[in-house]
Amino acid sequence: MLIDLHGRTALVTGSTQGIGRAIAATLADAGARVAINGRSAETVDAVVAELLAEAPQRNLVAAPGDVTDEAGTDAVLSAIGHVDVLVNNLGIFGAEPALDITDDEWRRYFEVNVLAAVRLIRATLPGMKERGWGRVLNIASDSAIVIPAEMIHYGMSKTALLAVSRGFAKDAAGTGVTVNSVIAGPTHTGGVESFVYELVDPALPWDEAQREFMRLHRPQSLLQRLIEPQEIANMVAYLSSPLASATTGAAVRVDGGYVDSILP
């Protein structure tokens, strides 16, 4: 199968590192014009330069701005123009005892992980519907289904994203626009490395720490290893393409078999 996104413009939020960066590079390699987003203009410019150094043919746009507020969202969208593929990847996570999570933390997780995505969908979906083609992808998590005891607030926000995806898919019904969520399993990123070391002995070498983390905290993973960001990006590229025209309103799993279910 050939994934061809030439002529399409994609925005990947939080794309200066980790899963977002892998998604942005993969969409660009498929021919899309891709907007790299992060809060710092300096960081965004540096990542654009790095990605172009890897593959000079990539068509990249610097789109710095904080999409967790309206002004930042407007700045990002102004730098891009119209958006054909929206990937809401930005998210925060962290471990905290359930009874210690404050009202402010509950609000912060909702505003960053859910409301920022909703705001961007509201801004871009009308244009997609009018043009008769578009893709909206919300990066969710296995934590949306298997709520971790150590980060209930994060799980709540990712469960909400599943509902957001399904609801906006209904709004886009029959327009040629698809809206889906991607349930990413435990993935190897810099942020996750720090998180792993919060939960296991920080003196352990990384390979041992990863195995100990999976054994103690994610034992139901069928892969029995962390997923690599490129593996998430591959699924996102497919769902962003014309090949996935009949997949909408879905929660598609790239979770390494972590969720113990025969349904998505």
Annotated catalytic residue 197: no
Q: CB under 8 Å, gap of 24 or more: what pairs does 110-113 form?
A: 110/156, 110/157, 110/160, 111/68, 112/68, 112/157, 113/154, 113/157, 113/158, 113/160, 113/161
Pull the structure tokens for residue 109: 């997780």
Task: Round to whole Å and give the CA distance between 106 and 99.
Answer: 12
> How many CA atoms, within 13 angstroms, populate the side-chain half-sphere of residue 55?
13
Dihedral in degrees, nearest 10, Cα atoms 166, 112, 159, 133: 20
Pull the structure tokens for residue 112: 């960053």
Query: Which entry of 109, 154, 197, 258 is annotated as an active-site residue?
Result: 154
What sections of 60-205 are H helices per DSSP? 70-80, 103-110, 116-131, 152-171, 190-199
Catalytic residues: 154
